[in-house]
Structure 1
Amino acid sequence: MYLTRFRVNTGRSDAQRLLSSPHRLHGAVNMSFPTPPPRDGSGPRVLWRVDSNTPSETLLFIVSPARPDLTNLVDQAGWPAADDPGWTTFAYGQFLTALAKGDAWGFRLTANPVHSIHHKDAKEGEPTKRVAHQTPHHQMRWLLERQERSGFEIIQKPVERRLLEHGDEHELIVRDQRPWQFRRAPARTSRDDVRFTKVTFDGRLRITDPDVFRRTLTHGLGKAKAYGCGLMTLAPVR
């Protein structure tokens, strides 16, 4: 497994075009691999995420089973004439192997928190509709409901640090939320558009099951993984 960090040259028009379309960026990421890994759940997949930390710093993170070649992205959205290749790739497998039960980490996750509802006039037995959670409270609850089966627990705050009696029990915030809508070929009408909401979580967690947690980090969490959701990255807890 590999973890790759690529800095986007946001001053270029092609870079802005890629950042404005998860569909185009998904294609550009896939072009970095001669043979993209399967997406049928049989093994680790390519996950990616865009972090816009400041107006002048936008980073693309990629986790993948194979080492990527981001030459195509440098040509479109990097600094092609610079001496530096424009990206850094780390051997992620060694880091994953060293993860142990009880370890505490800071984390960032961009995900697509959704739930299923019935249509207004739906009859019994009819399929449900998947819709996005809209409020930070429900978005955080979505993640908390998945922590146990994903191999981690989000650390709880000491009582004296909680700002609210209810809803502020965990080291977890929603940092960003953005709805997306775009059309994929061969769709011809807005009825067939892809719609989803990206939400970025920052927080602190503790590993409860290292094997399951490693799968979460390499297979992703939630829906819309092809469009920049599902990737969790870790940082040392200060």
Structure 2
Amino acid sequence: MTQFTRIIIDPNHRHTRWALQSLERMHAIVARTMDPHGILDARGLWRLDLGRAGKPCRLYIVSDNVPDFTVLNEEFGIGTEAVATCSYEPFLGNLDVGQEWGFRLKANPTRSIASGSSAKRGRRVGLVKVEDQLEWLYRKARESGFHMPINRLEMPEVMVRNSETVDFVRKNGTVAFASATYDGVLAVDDPELLRKALTCGIGRAKGYGFGLLTLVPLPKGR
């Protein structure tokens, strides 16, 4: 059964500061919360929303099991009151055509460049221009069962809130990801495709905190 978990983290905690300095460290910590004994080959989605000016961060995890609290306590020094978890199934089951939701997605937008040879695979590169990142999202939205409604300015209701390149050291080499955080409004076209996107993620680099789409109710009277 799919679980949705929100964890509130104090970025000023000594060990948390150390973890936040490297995407590779966060990747390892989150993987251990989902599989503390390393025997299940557990996979899931996660996203870290940083707080402003030292305010608490929010770590969201979608996984097949409840994240291990002992690991969370060891790594982030948090108490049980900082963790809220529930079955995702009731929410997913209530999605329907035509519903509108506020959404956030932190993704690794990429495109493939052909090698020019049938014997050689093409290479994948990150998209760093905002207009390219938006075009990537429009395509992924169609594949994921939703679209962004057009507003009064005749523009889709979405913005790239944060566009950057994230790099970190892994196995004595440097890895870099194009990163874009999208905030906006979506309308449901195909609930089944959207459920898949919510539980399996959108795009690449899911193990490193990309691909988790979250939905929130829109303000009443909108």
* TM superposition score normalised by structure 1: 0.83
Q: Work out whether 1:225 is the aligned partner of 2:218.
A: no
How many aligned positions are there?
A: 214
Segments of 4+ moved more than 3 angstroms? 34-39, 122-126
Deviation of 1:36 after TM superposition, in Å, equals 7.3
Cα distance in 2 for residues equivalent to 1:53 and 1:142: 27
Q: Match for residue 176 of structure 1?
A: 162
State yes or no: 1:109 paired with 2:127.
no
Query: 8 Å contact 1:177–1:199 — kept in the other structure?
Result: yes
Mapped contact 1:117–1:131 kept (Cα < 8 A): yes
Q: Please give the alpha-carbon distance, in whole angstroms, between the structure 2 residues aligned to 1:176 and 1:226.
A: 20
- Residues 1:98 and 2:94 are matched in the alignment: yes
Deviations 1:23-58, CA, capped at 9 Å, x for gaps: 21111112123467657xxxxx41000101422121
- Superposed, 1:53-202 pairs within 5 Å as 53-55=51-53, 56-79=55-78, 84-118=80-114, 123-125=116-118, 126-158=120-152, 161-162=153-154, 169-185=155-171, 188=172, 190=173, 193-202=174-183
Q: Are the counterparts in 1 of residues 72 and 78 from structure 2 also a CA contact under 8 Å?
A: no
Aligned residues with identical type, % of pairs: 34
What is the CA–CA distance in structure 1 between the aligned matches of 2:17 and 2:33, rounded to whole Å? 19
Code of the aligned partner of 1:176:
N
Q: Superposition RMSD on alpha carbons, in Å?
A: 1.9
Number of the residue aligned with 2:48: 50
User: Which of 126-135 and 228-237 deviates more?
Assistant: 126-135
The code of the aligned residue for 1:88 comes to A
Distance in 1, Cα, partners of 2:65 & 2:39: 9
1:52 maps to amino acid: L
Residue-by-residue CA offset, 1:193-224 (whole Å, 9 max, x unaligned): 32212210001001111111100000000000
Distance (whole Å) between structure 1 residues aligned to residue 40 and residue 134 of structure 2: 31
Structure 1's 151 and 116: CA in aligned 2 closer, same or farther, altered over 3 A? same
Structure 1: gaps spanning 5 or more residues: 40-44, 163-168
Aligned equivalents of 1:63, 1:201: Cα separation in 2? 18
Q: Which TM-score applies when normalising by structure 2? A: 0.88
| Structure 2, gaps ≥5 residues long | none
